[in-house]
A and B are shown apart, each in its own frame.
Chain A
């Protein structure tokens, strides 16, 4: 299948800091691509540039064949590129239901939204139980479910997830990865940034490794799981 996302020569910086320094990669339609890299490698900066939250300095971002670099963030969401950012960015004073409702902000097809809401509640029954509660009163795991559920309501073609397992207990981490797999199986392409390199690569079709704002390695998920550099740098301390 063709590439849904094609990034070429992407550069992102903050003042004098160059966070991403000429990055090329692509995400084929219908796959899960996992991006790993040390702290500060430029993973979040890349995702924020894809969403238009941070302005890229140069390069090209083709999404479904269309140049989106320089587009307004709301337009990018409207095209189907949706992100759950690091730290989740839920709207804590608003209720769970209101958060989910805002997830479908760019959509006009009310009936399809209602059906998707049922699916999200099916995927995360906890959210249904707590729909009237303020989002800020949810536990960390529930907030992550809310953030993912809310992103799904935008009906994404490409879902960007920035460290969805951060701060979650091991059992929850496993269930988040299962959910991500299910999301991909239902037809949404996923670009996943993770610190839990082993589990993230296990569910991935392809993996890319970032180092100092550049592409260090890429390959299939299983290739990277056995790669010496990856083993030493990212999988060393994890057991099994």
Chain B
């Protein structure tokens, strides 16, 4: 079986077994396209192009990663292959879609060169909740966790998580190790790591002199969001944090919680 055939099978798996996940999205986009007629004169070509790209490039992008798995699994039934790949695929596709929507959003913004954004677009016209608004809601950036971590020691000084996470002390230490590893590797004096992408999460790192703030985010983290987030974090550091807070994790954590519980961003 050559690689082309394998890709065909992959395509089939992706476009049949994965439909479960995708169906919704595609439906929403279809619906969106048919509804937003006047706007769609401008937008549809871009959207079409993107969707075509998406369908065309997906096997290409994912191909190498799964060729190995396919080699051993391919002899079994297609169903078994799909099952083996499903968890990996689900995440990759979700991430891919997310990345594509982000690009699309930025692309549209650029072309219309205005304050045009998905948010405006979706909420324009009638204010009924439609498929598009739901889609926006689905992929909107959300803060999952905020950690304030002492530089050097990597000790956690304050933590606010929406749900319980794996051990946050170890997470803080590992983040610090990764951060210093990368910074050492580039060894460019002032360079500091600002962001880590991990599976479906983006970890935004805001550096201060004795500590840094790590914000774990799901959804679309674009420049617009990054800007806003930075402002909020800088304000927090400037107006809320005192020197003594680092010595007292308990009160620091309380401060952090009360500052961010009202969905400030």
**Do A and B come from the same complex?**
no
Binding site for B on A (CB under 8 A): none
